């Protein structure tokens, strides 16, 4: 299972940049297993809510985890304010990196991740399927 460390610089929209990377490079499709850093005015969507809420000011990222595919992302974030109070929810677009974001991405070999609307939930949910071989077999090889 290949591991992919990433560092995102100040000013980038965290979710948009991760989705851009996943669309551009299949090697960036997988699961974020660790994410730390800081954000300025992050936007979180809490459980069973339609819209995100802006958390004013600088926030330390305690953890970021989720899945990335070419079809989108499902990302959960926990942040702490200057007093150490924590909040968590779905990471929304518009959450800009303040100083840095350090991430570890795990890309499962042999599997392709996607997102498709699920009739039972109404949401774009993770799909997992075997990925095609990266290189065609050599002539005369068993496959």
Tens-digit pLDDT profile for residues 21-45: 999 988 889 999 999 999 999 999 9
| Per-residue pLDDT of the chain in tens (143 residues, 90 and over written 9) | 689 999 999 999 999 999 999 999 888 899 999 999 999 999 999 998 999 999 999 999 999 999 999 999 999 999 999 999 999 999 999 999 999 999 999 988 888 888 899 899 888 888 878 887 666 666 766 65
Say if CB 77 and CB 89 are below 8 A apart. Answer: yes
141 domain residue, yes or no: no
Say if CB 68 and CB 30 are below 8 A apart. Answer: yes
Quick one: 35 exposed, middle or buried, by C-beta within 10 A (0-12, 13-18, 19+)? buried
Q: How many domains does the chain have?
A: 1
| Partners of 89 in the β-ladder | 77
Residue 122 pLDDT = 86
Residue 115 pLDDT = 87
104 domain residue, yes or no: yes
Report the CATH number that the domain containing residue 13 is assigned in CATH.
3.30.1330.80
């Amino acid at each position: 299972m290949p591991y992919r460390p990433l560092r995102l610089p100040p000013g980038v929209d965290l979710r948009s940049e991760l989705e851009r990377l996943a669309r551009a490079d299949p090697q960036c499709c997988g699961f974020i297993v660790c994410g730390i850093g800081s954000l300025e005015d992050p936007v979180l969507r809490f459980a069973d809510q339609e819209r995100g809420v802006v958390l004013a000011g600088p926030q330390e990222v305690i953890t970021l985890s989720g899945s990335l595919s070419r079809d989108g992302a499902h990302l959960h974030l926990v942040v702490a304010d200057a007093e150490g109070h924590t909040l968590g929810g779905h990471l929304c677009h518009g959450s800009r990196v303040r100083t840095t974001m350090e991430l570890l991405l795990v890309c499962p070999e042999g599997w392709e991740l996607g997102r498709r609307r699920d009739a039972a939930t109404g949401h774009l949910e993770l799909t997992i399927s075997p990925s095609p071989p990266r290189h065609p077999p050599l002539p005369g090889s068993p496959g």
